[in-house]
């Protein structure tokens, strides 16, 4: 089939704007064929664009010969433009249809398609990800990414209103600074560099200049763990604020969670329906469980952990059954937290670090930061890190570093919670994990 050019055709209406009130009017609509049915003598096309769908009805006896010829060679997922007349028709979906006068075929879909976008024939996640561009056209994917958009927009509005400045810090960094997670090395001209695992050090430095900053950007982790909640490239929503402590930023985090849930409930009703998912707006304040209380609860559930031990996944799973929604875990042993988390003044074994949990999944972590240079150097050494590799970061502590606190939310984990999607890969356009680097 020949592919047409757009020429002077311009869309006059989105499909969703085609209503029975337009009866008799000539319109141009553009989009993809979602379904096509030939009933002999009459052909029906469901045309979909980014805002909705409309029925195109092609009665053989009433349509121009050229349009009829073109319509007979169309397939699902072909991209077309229709110039036609709107007709109010009770039997059609939304009570309206378009009778074409002219058809342009703008893009052809090669059949058989690798997956069924309607989802009627379900496909394995890897098959779907291999054909991701097509998979993203499904109602399910469209709903997920609309919600993701709304969450990002709500987050920016919320933080901006609270006086946070949006920043972008480098993602190519000189040394494997923070410790903890493994980094990806990159070849940087004649040197080795790394992809940033988080904006932690930069955002702390920037509070000297801006007091309240946030960044929404990629974070890279050479995660060996191949789980349904880990990917190697995720989006981190980071904030850092001067002159506050962990409790202040926990309040900010829970208010943001409440705001996001409220906005998603309001703005994404249809999407939540497609996903068959309900979002509850949490009541504040969220529960704050201490690490010691978590150990006690787990002991009662038959999981015995020594004080100072990290909580294993099966511990979190058990905890998530008792606490199925949002809660914080506070008062973590200092040794389980990164060097920049402040130990408590009255008991340095315990830190001012916290995690924000949703059921068994960690959504965010944060805390009061160490703002005294001596203590920071001591903590670095205790964790086996070398102060020399933190030269520039430590230098910033000589420029009047204020007390500060902050957190990082994993955007994809939050979206999993808001959509009910169980595999993190589904809420990322083109996910990266240990085994997947394409498409
Ligand atoms: P986890 O213990 O679940 O691996 P973490 O303790 O390594 O997470 P942090 O370094 O505290 O995570 O990062 C802050 C947030 O970033 C986490 O709460 C989580 O929401 C998100 N996050 C961290 N690693 C990943 C990952 N590999 N994939 C997706 N999100 C992640």
Q: Is 221 a catalytic residue?
A: yes
pLDDT given for residue 160 in this prediction: 98
Told to judge if 223 belongs to the known catalytic residues of this protein, a careful annotator would answer yes
Q: Say if ligand 1 is within 6 A of residue 223 CB.
A: yes
Q: What's the gap in Å between 309 CA and the centre of ligand 1?
A: 18
322 C-alpha to center of ligand 1: Å? 22
Q: From atom 21 of ligand 1, which residue's Cα is the shortest distance away? A: 410
**DSSP states along 109-162:** --SS-SS-TTSSS---HHHHHHTHHHHTTSHHHHHHHHHHHHHHHHHHHHHHHT
pTM of the model: 0.95
Nearest CA to ligand 1 atom 19: 410
229 is catalytic: yes
The finding on whether 197 has its CB within 6 A of some atom of ligand 1 is no
Query: Of the listed 94, 229, 251, 436, which one is catalytic?
Result: 229
Please work out whether the CB of residue 221 comes within 6 Å of at least one atom of ligand 1. yes
Q: Which fold has domain 134-427?
A: BirA Bifunctional Protein; domain 2 (3.30.930)
CA dihedral 172, 178, 181, 182 (to 10 degrees): 50
CA of 108 to the centre of ligand 1 (A): 41
CA–CA separation, 184 vs 95, rounded Å? 55
Distance of alpha carbon 311 from alpha carbon 309, whole angstroms: 6
CA distance 191 to 189: 6
In the set 297, 362, 432, 436, the catalytic residue is: 362
Catalytic residue among 365, 371, 393, 404: 365
Q: Is 432 in the pocket of ligand 1 (CB under 6 A)?
A: no
Q: Say whether domain 15-107 belongs to CATH 3.40.190.10.
A: no
Cα(400)–Cα(395) distance, rounded to whole angstroms?
10
User: Which candidate, 431, 411, 439, 422, places its Cα nearest to that of 233?
Assistant: 431
- Residue by residue, pLDDT tens for the chain (439 residues) are 789 999 999 999 999 999 999 999 999 999 999 999 999 899 999 999 999 999 999 999 999 999 999 999 999 999 999 999 999 999 999 999 999 999 999 999 999 999 999 888 999 999 999 999 999 999 999 999 999 999 999 999 999 999 999 999 999 999 876 766 789 999 999 999 999 999 999 999 999 999 999 999 999 999 888 899 999 999 999 999 999 999 999 999 999 999 999 999 999 999 999 999 999 999 999 999 999 999 999 999 999 999 999 999 999 999 999 999 999 999 999 999 999 999 999 999 999 999 999 999 999 999 999 999 999 999 999 999 999 989 999 999 999 999 999 999 999 999 999 999 999 999 999 999 999 999 9
Centre of ligand 1 from the C-alpha of residue 356, in Å: 11
Q: Is 431 in the pocket of ligand 1 (CB under 6 A)?
A: no
Residue extents of the structural domains in the chain:
15-107, 134-427
pLDDT at site 42: 96
Active site residue 365: yes
Q: Is any ligand 1 atom within 6 A of the Cβ of residue 408?
A: yes
Q: Which two tokens stand for residue 375?
A: 């203590």
**Mutational test site, ligand 1, from 203, 219, 365, 417, max ligand atoms within 8 Å of CB:** 365
Distance 410 CA to ligand 1 centre (A): 6
């Amino acid at each position: 089939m020949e592919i047409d050019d757009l020429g002077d055709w311009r869309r006059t209406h989105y499909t969703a704007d085609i209503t029975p009130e337009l009866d008799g009017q000539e319109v141009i609509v553009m989009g993809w064929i979602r379904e096509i049915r030939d009933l002999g003598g009459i052909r029906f096309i469901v045309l979909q664009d980014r805002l909705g769908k409309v029925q195109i009805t092609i009665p053989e006896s009433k349509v121009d010969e050229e349009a009829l010829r073109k319509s007979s060679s169309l397939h699902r997922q072909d991209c077309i433009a229709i110039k036609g007349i709107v007709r109010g028709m009770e039997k059609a979906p939304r009570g309206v249809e378009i009778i074409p006068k002219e058809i342009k075929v703008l893009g052809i879909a090669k059949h058989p398609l690798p997956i069924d976008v309607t989802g009627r024939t379900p496909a394995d996640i890897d098959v779907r990800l291999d054909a991701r561009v097509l998979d993203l056209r499904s109602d399910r994917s469209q709903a997920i990414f609309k919600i993701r958009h709304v969450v990002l927009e709500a987050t920016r509005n919320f933080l901006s209103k609270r006086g946070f400045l949006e920043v972008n810090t480098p993602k190519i960094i000189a040394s494997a600074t923070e410790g903890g997670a493994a980094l990806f090395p990159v070849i940087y001209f004649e040197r080795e560099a790394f992809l940033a695992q988080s904006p932690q050090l930069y955002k702390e430095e920037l509070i000297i200049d801006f007091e309240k900053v946030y960044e929404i950007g990629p974070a890279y982790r050479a995660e060996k763990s191949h789980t349904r909640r880990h990917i190697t490239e995720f989006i981190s929503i980071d904030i850092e604020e001067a002159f506050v402590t962990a409790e202040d930023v926990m309040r900010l985090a829970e208010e943001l969670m409440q705001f996001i849930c409220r906005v998603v409930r309001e703005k994404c009703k249809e999407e939540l329906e497609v996903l068959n998912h309900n979002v509850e707006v949490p009541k504040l304040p969220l529960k704050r469980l201490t690490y010691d209380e978590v150990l006690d609860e787990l002991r009662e559930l038959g999981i015995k952990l020594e004080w100072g031990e990290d909580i294993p996944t099966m511990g979190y799973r058990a905890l998530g059954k008792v606490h199925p929604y949002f809660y914080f875990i506070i008062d973590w042993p200092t040794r389980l937290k990164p060097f920049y988390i402040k130990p408590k003044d009255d008991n340095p074994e315990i830190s001012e670090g916290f995690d924000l949990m949703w059921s068994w999944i960690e959504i965010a972590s944060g805390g009061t930061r160490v703002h005294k240079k001596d203590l920071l150097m001591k903590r670095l050494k205790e964790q086996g890190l070398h102060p020399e590799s933190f030269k520039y970061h430590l230098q910033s502590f000589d420029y009047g570093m204020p007390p500060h606190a902050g957190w990082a939310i994993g955007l994809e984990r939050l979206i999993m919670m808001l959509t009910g999607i169980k595999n993190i890969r589904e809420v990322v356009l083109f996910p990266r994990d240990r085994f997947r680097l394409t498409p």
